[in-house]
Chain A
Amino acid sequence: DQQVKQNSPSLSVQEGRISILNCDYTNSMFDYFLWYKKYPAEGPTFLISISSIKDKNEDGRFTVFLNKSAKHLSLHIVPSQPGDSAVYFCAAPGSGNTGKLIFGQGTTLQVKP
């Protein structure tokens, strides 16, 4: 049972435009969500998070929106830059408060110059 889903395997946008990456989840008990970014041959790095008590969190060019009723979150990158080309994973904490994360399948973003 895939509790965190990223249904778009890939996304291509032009430099300077907005990138929107989507993520859906099934477990209404999730109260915290994270986005990680991964370059080839490197480990994922933390990008931005959001608590379920908020519906928006912004950090520079990156904004995450949370729609709890739809069990949906999205990551907006504005403006997109070629260096943003990477795989983006959304994640939520698993049970037990150990910190283990449940990841989506990832979306590969390509930003064209």
Chain B
Amino acid sequence: GAGVSQSPSNKVTEKGKDVELRCDPISGHTALYWYRQSLGQGLEFLIYFQGNSAPDKSGLPSDRFSAERTGGSVSTLTIQRTQQEDSAVYLCASSPVGGTYNEQFFGPGTRLTVL
């Protein structure tokens, strides 16, 4: 079956512009996570969705970052007024249900470069 897909695979933008990153989770997975990996760092949690709700947004670094999920499926991560420190690989993962002991399936990521 299809895995988690993300688009675009690469995005180059100018400082100050807004960007939208898309994640299509595995069909039927109710839990969805966004992470980012900055150069030389591990993956950093951003936000967790259960269905269309986001009960944990604790990892969003600033109010320039927002995310939504519609129809219990596709999720969009929006970064407003991008800064150079936003450059990273943004990874999306889904899981059949939320909770600690459920395997997360990752997409290939979107590499964001802010010039």
Contact = CB atoms under 8 A, between A and B. Distances in A.
B77 interface: no
A47 to B, nearest CB: 11
Is chain A's interface secondary structure helix, strand, loop, or mixed overall?
A: loop
Contacts of B99: 97-99
A4 B31 CA distance: 23
A98 B107 contact: no
A82 interface: no
- Sorting the interface of chain B by its residue count into under 10, 10 to 19, 20 to 34 or 35 or more gives 20 to 34
B45 A94 contact: yes
B87 to A, nearest CB: 17
B18 interface: no
B108 A43 contact: yes
A96 B56 contact: yes
Interface string B72-115: 00000000000000000001010100111111111111000000
A36 B33 CA distance: 16
B4 interface: yes
A99 B95 contact: yes
A98 B56 contact: yes
B95 A105 contact: no
Contacts of A46: 103-105
Interface string A58-90: 000000000000000000000000000000010
A94 B99 CA distance: 10
A1 interface: no
A44 B4 CA distance: 11
Contacts of A42: 108
The 3 closest A-B pairs by CB, nearest first: A43-B106, A103-B42, A103-B43
Given A32-B100, A46-B105, 9 more contacts: A43-B107, A46-B104, A98-B48, A98-B50, A98-B99, A99-B98, A99-B99, A101-B45, A103-B43
11 contacts: A41-B108, A43-B91, A46-B105, A89-B43, A94-B45, A96-B56, A97-B100, A98-B31, A98-B50, A103-B35, A104-B42
